[in-house]
C-alpha cells in the first residue's frame, strides 16, 4: 500500500508538509437526536481518513483522492469561488472546510491535498466527517489556527466542518459526526449534549469484559442528501413549533403522552416519540455502562432499533435482517447506526460469539440474494490528529 507521503509526492511532485487523519465513527445510541438538541453517544473508529497536505501561498486548492480511481487526477478550485453547491461531489467536503474557516474569520490559504480513507463510504460510519476533520486539522496546523490545542478549539473546528457539510455539500446533518471525529477519546464513548455542546468521556472498554462491538456494513444504499433526512428534520421542527418549544429536547419523557396528544399530525407524533424516547435511552445507556450492565445496554440497543424502524422509519430490510441475525447468534442487543436508509448496524456480543454472528448475518443475506455484508469488530479510537 502506497504511503500518504508517496502518493502526495507522485501527484504533486513534492512531499507534503505533513499528514493528518481523522476517524470514522459509530454512534452507540442517540440517533437523529443531534439536530433536535438532544444527546448522542458515539465512539471514534480505528478506521481513519488521511490528508497529506501542503500549504500554498495563493488561493488555489488542488485536491486528489486515492478513491477517485487510477491515475493522478487533480481537481482545482479557488477558495474564493467556493460556496453553497459549489464544488460538487467529494471535493465539496474538502473545499467547504476552508471556505467555512475563512467565513469564521480565519486567514486560510490554498493547499495541495491528497486524501485516502479506510472508512467505508456510504456505510453510515461518517466518512464525510472524517474527510472534513482531517482537512480541518491540517488547515489548523498549517495556518497556525491552534484549533487542535484544546476542546474549545476542536469544537470550533467541528462547527466549521458542520457548516461545510450543510452549506457547501448540501447535506443537512447535525453536529455529532464532526464532534466525534475531533473530540472522542481512546477507550471511551463521547456523551455529547447537542444543546450546549457539553461533553463527557464515558469509559467503553469491552475487551476488558470479554465483549465486542461488531459493525456490519450492509452495503445497502446510503445517502444523506437525498431528501429523506431533511424531511424528518423538518417534521421535528414542525412538531417543536406546534408544542411551543425550541426543540424536541425540551419535551420530557414523562410528559411525552401529553405532548403527543397536542400534535394533530400522525407523522409528527411518531417522529417526536422516537426523539424523546431516544434521548432517554442515551441517558439510560450511559448509566448502564457505568454500572457494567451490558445486558441492559443490549436491551436499550434493541429498543432504539425498534423505534428507528417503526417511529422514525429510517431502517431497511438489510438493517433489520442484520440485527435479527446477530441477536439470534448470541448478541445481547443490536441496532442500526447512522442516518439510516442503508448503512451499518452494530451488535454487542460476547467475544466468543463473534464468528457465529458474522456467519449468521452473511448466511441471512445470502439466503435473500443480497450482496455479502462486511462485518468487523471495532474499538474506541483516538480523535483527529497529525500523524507525520
- Cα angle, residue 346 at apex, residues 167 and 233 outer, rounded to 5°: 30
Looking at the chain, the number of H-run helices and the number of E-run strands are: 11, 13
- Calpha distance 197→202 (Å, rounded): 16
CB 282 within 8 A of CB 269: no
Q: Provide the 3-class DSSP secondary structure of residue 378.
A: strand
Rounded-to-10 torsion of CA 259, 263, 268, 269: 50
Q: Are strands 344-350 and 333-337 parallel, antiparallel or unpaired?
A: antiparallel
- Calpha distance 367→67 (Å, rounded): 31
- Calpha distance 11→54 (Å, rounded): 12
Q: What are the b/e assignments for 181-207, b being 16+ CB within 10 Å?
A: bbbbbebbbbbbebeeeebeebebebe
Sheet containing strand 211-217, strands side by side:
333-337, 344-350, 211-217, 374-378
Residue 214: phi, psi to the nearest 5? -100, 125
- Calpha distance 385→388 (Å, rounded): 9
Q: Which of 106, 94, 141 is nearest to 388 (CA)?
A: 141
CB 29 within 8 A of CB 301: yes
Residue numbers annotated as active site: 177
- Calpha distance 95→51 (Å, rounded): 13
Q: Is the peptide bond before 87 cis (omega within 30 degrees of 0)?
A: yes
- Calpha distance 264→287 (Å, rounded): 34
Look-up of cell digits 479557488: 78
- Calpha distance 51→114 (Å, rounded): 6
- Calpha distance 337→195 (Å, rounded): 21
Amino acid at each position: 500500500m502506497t504511503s500518504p507521503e508517496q502518493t502526495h509526492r507522485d501527484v504533486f511532485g513534492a512531499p507534503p508538509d505533513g499528514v493528518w487523519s481523522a476517524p470514522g465513527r459509530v454512534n452507540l445510541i442517540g440517533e437523529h437526536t443531534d439536530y433536535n438538541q438532544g444527546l448522542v453517544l458515539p465512539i471514534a473508529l480505528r478506521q481513519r481518513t488521511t490528508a497529506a497536505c501542503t500549504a500554498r501561498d495563493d488561493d488555489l486548492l488542488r485536491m486528489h483522492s486515492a478513491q477517485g480511481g487510477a491515475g493522478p487526477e487533480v481537481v482545482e478550485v479557488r477558495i474564493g469561488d467556493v460556496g453553497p453547491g459549489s464544488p460538487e461531489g467529494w471535493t465539496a467536503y474538502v473545499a467547504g472546510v476552508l471556505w467555512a474557516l475563512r467565513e469564521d474569520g480565519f486567514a486560510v490559504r490554498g493547499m495541495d491535498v491528497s486524501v485516502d480513507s479506510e472508512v467505508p463510504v456510504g456505510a453510515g460510519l461518517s466518512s464525510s466527517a472524517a474527510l472534513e476533520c482531517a482537512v480541518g486539522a491540517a488547515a489548523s496546523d498549517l495556518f497556525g489556527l491552534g484549533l487542535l490545542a484544546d476542546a474549545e478549539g476542536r469544537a470550533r473546528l467541528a462547527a466549521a466542518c458542520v457548516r461545510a457539510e450543510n452549506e457547501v455539500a448540501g447535506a443537512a446533518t447535525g453536529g455529532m459526526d464532526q464532534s466525534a471525529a475531533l473530540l472522542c477519546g481512546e477507550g471511551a464513548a463521547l456523551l455529547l449534549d447537542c444543546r450546549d455542546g457539553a461533553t463527557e468521556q464515558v469509559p467503553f472498554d469491552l475487551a476488558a469484559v470479554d465483549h465486542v462491538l461488531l459493525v456490519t456494513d450492509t452495503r445497502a444504499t446510503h445517502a444523506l442528501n437525498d431528501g429523506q433526512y431533511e424531511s424528518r428534520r423538518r417534521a421535528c421542527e414542525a412538531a417543536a413549533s406546534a408544542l411551543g418549544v425550541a426543540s424536541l429536547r425540551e419535551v420530557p419523557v414523562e410528559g411525552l403522552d401529553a405532548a403527543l396528544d397536542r400534535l394533530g399530525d400522525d407523522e409528527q407524533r411518531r417522529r417526536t416519540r422516537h426523539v424523546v424516547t431516544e434521548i432517554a435511552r442515551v441517558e439510560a445507556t450511559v448509566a448502564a455502562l457505568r454500572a457494567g450492565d451490558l445486558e441492559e445496554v443490549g436491551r436499550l440497543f434493541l429498543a432504539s432499533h425498534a423505534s428507528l424502524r417503526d417511529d422514525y422509519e429510517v431502517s431497511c430490510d438489510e438493517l433489520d435482517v442484520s440485527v435479527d441475525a446477530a441477536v439470534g447468534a448470541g448478541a445481547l442487543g443490536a441496532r442500526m447506526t447512522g442516518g439510516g436508509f442503508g448503512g451499518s448496524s452494530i451488535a454487542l456480543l460476547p467475544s466468543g460469539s463473534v464468528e457465529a454472528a458474522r456467519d449468521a448475518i452473511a448466511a441471512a443475506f445470502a439466503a435473500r440474494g443480497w450482496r455479502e455484508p462486511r462485518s468487523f469488530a471495532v474499538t474506541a479510537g483516538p480523535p483527529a490528529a497529525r500523524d507525520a
